[in-house]
């Protein structure tokens, strides 16, 4: 297929997916802009991780297809996928007694030669990835001895060591303090701007999503209910219907991006449909 003739780096079409009998996503069409940052947002349980898993071939859909730069991922091997796309899953667990460097090394296995020996460029990529997340002093520590935030950065380094054109991140700022949250998001932005990396990331913080994403996709109960640039997507009515909050949206004086000030949750009053599990 012609790799240049595509409108999105990831194009998911008519996706129907779930776990056994439990269908979570119905009729999902998603376009992840080539060379852009797309933020996937939505309430807990709305299907964000499920959609990310479908887009990254960790979960086979019941229906529909996913194209990666025009290629149907159902025809790509795990190794071919790993050369094109790196994923930071939600809540990954490392095997015991694995150092940070060992973990990040895993990111090179799709790239190494037939003898599966790490070459100089693999070692360089591993060191660069550890540098990028500033875990140099922790490289020889066991992953299970790290703090939550340090561990999250070690997993991010694994994804970065893969050196792919597409990065899929499921809540990359979990466990991080506000300074490290911004550090990770700024790093992602830098990779996007300087290397043209396409990014699809799940974020809970709507203000971070608004400030770092070119495109936002809002998921609610397994369906896409909003998509577009942050200013067009984040509307008070959508925040009320999807997240059950009353909110003012003001312009961030520093960035001119939308800034949400949530006043009140309507969830406790039970007046909104949001937060009910998908398709129940």
Ligand X SMILES: Nc1ncnc2c1ncn2[C@@H]1O[C@H](COP(=O)(O)OP(=O)(O)OP(=O)(O)O)[C@@H](O)[C@H]1O
Residue 277: contacted member of Mg ion, ligand X, none (CB under 5 to 8 Å, by partner type):
ligand X
Output phi, psi for 247, to 5 deg: -145, 150
Our CB check for ligand X shows the closer of 139 and 156 to be 156
The nearest distance, CB 91 to ligand X, in angstroms, is 9
Q: Is 44 in the site for ligand X (CB under 6 A)?
A: yes
The nearest distance, CB 124 to ligand X, in angstroms, is 34
Identify which range of 26-34, 42-50, 77-85, 237-245 contacts ligand X by CB under 6 A.
42-50
Question: Can you tell me whether residue 143 is helix, strand or coil?
Answer: helix
Pick from 13, 80, 83, 90 the residue near ligand X by CB under 6 A.
Answer: 90
DSSP 34-81: TTSEEEEE--TTSSHHHHHHHHTTSS--SEEEEEETTEEGGGS-HHHH
86 contacts 164 by C-beta, under 8 angstroms = yes
Residues with Cβ within 8 Å of residue 160, at least 6 apart in sequence: 86, 107, 128, 129, 132, 133, 167, 191
Our CB check for Mg ion shows the closer of 18 and 258 to be 18
Site string for Mg ion, 19-48 (x = CB under 5 A): -----------------------------x
Pick from 35, 45, 70, 92 the residue near ligand X by CB under 6 A.
Answer: 45
Pick from 104, 126, 184, 278 the residue near ligand X by CB under 6 A.
Answer: 278
Token pair, residue 75, equals 């025809």
Interface residue list for ligand X (CB under 6 A): 19, 22, 24, 42, 44-50, 90, 277-278
């Amino acid at each position: 297929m012609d790799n240049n003739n595509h409108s999105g780096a990831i194009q998911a079409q008519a996706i129907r997916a779930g776990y056994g009998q439990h269908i979570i996503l119905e009729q999902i069409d998603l376009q992840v802009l080539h060379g852009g940052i797309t933020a996937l947002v939505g309430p807990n349980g709305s299907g964000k991780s499920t959609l990310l898993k479908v887009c990254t071939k960790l979960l086979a859909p019941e229906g529909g297809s996913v194209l990666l730069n025009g290629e149907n991922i159902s025809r790509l091997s795990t190794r071919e996928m790993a050369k094109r796309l790196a994923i930071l899953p939600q809540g990954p667990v490392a095997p015991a007694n694995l150092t940070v460097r060992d973990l990040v090394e895993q990111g090179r296995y799709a790239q190494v030669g037939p003898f599966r020996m790490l070459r100089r460029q693999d070692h360089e990529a591993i060191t660069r990835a550890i540098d990028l997340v500033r875990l140099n002093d922790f490289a020889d520590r066991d992953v299970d001895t790290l703090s939550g935030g340090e561990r999250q950065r070690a997993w991010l380094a694994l994804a970065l060591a893969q050196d792919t054109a597409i990065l899929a991140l499921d809540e990359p700022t979990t466990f991080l303090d506000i300074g490290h949250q911004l550090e990770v998001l700024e790093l992602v932005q830098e990779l996007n701007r300087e290397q043209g990396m396409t990014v699809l990331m799940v974020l809970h913080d709507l203000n971070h999503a608004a400030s770092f994403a070119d495109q936002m996709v809002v998921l609610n109960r397994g369906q896409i209910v909003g998509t577009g640039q942050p200013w067009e997507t984040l509307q008070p009515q959508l925040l009320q219907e999807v997240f059950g909050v009353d909110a003012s949206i003001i312009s961030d004086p520093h960035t001119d991006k939308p800034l949400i000030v949530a006043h009140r949750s309507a969830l406790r009053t039970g007046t909104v449909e949001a937060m009910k599990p998908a398709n129940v």
